[in-house]
Chains A and B, each alone.
Chain A
Amino acid sequence: MIAPRLREVPDIGDDDPPYLFEDYVGTRLRAPRRPLLLLPHSLSELTGPVYGHESVGGLDHDLTLQHGGQPQGQRIVVSGRVLEEDGRPVRDSLVEIWQANAAGRYRHDVDGHDAPLDPNFDGAGRCVTDDEGRYRFVTVKPGAYPWQNHVNAWRPAHIHFSLFGRAFSQRLVTQMYFPDDPLFPYDPIFGSVRDPEARRRLIGSFDLETTVPDHALGFRFDIVLRGVEATPLEG
Chain B
Amino acid sequence: MRLPITPSQTVGPYLSIGLLGTIGPALVRADATGATRIRGRVLDGAREPVPDALVELWQADTNGCYATSTTGFTGFGRSGTVDGGSFEFVTVKPGRVPAPDGGLQAPHVNVGVFARGLLKRLFTRIYFPDESEANAADAILSALDPSLRETLVARAEADGSLRFDIRLQGDDQTVFFAL
Contact = CB atoms under 8 A, between A and B. Distances in A.
A binds B: yes
Interface of A: 1-2, 4-6, 9, 15-19, 21, 24, 26-34, 36-45, 47-52, 54-55, 83-87, 96-98, 106-108, 110-111, 122-126, 160, 162, 168-169, 171-175, 189-190, 192-193, 197-199, 201-202, 222-227, 230-231, 233-234
Given A52-B70, A96-B18, A26 B6 contact: no
A160 B176 contact: no
Given A38-B178, A43-B97, A29 B169 contact: yes
Interface stretch (B28-36, B109-117, B129-137, B155-163): B109-117
Interface string B67-86: 11110001110000000000
A41 B179 contact: yes
A123 B122 CA distance: 26
Contacts of B173: 32-34
A57 B120 CA distance: 29
Interface of B: 1-19, 21-23, 44-46, 48, 50, 52, 56, 58, 60, 66-70, 74-76, 97-101, 105, 108, 110, 112, 114-123, 125, 139-140, 143-145, 148, 168-169, 173-179
A39 B178 CA distance: 6
Contacts of A45: 110, 179
A16 B122 CA distance: 13
A42 B97 contact: yes
Given A2-B145, A49-B76, A171 B70 contact: no
Given A6-B140, A87-B1, A225 B6 contact: yes
B96 to A, nearest CB: 11
Given A30-B168, A38-B177, A54-B70, A108 B14 contact: yes
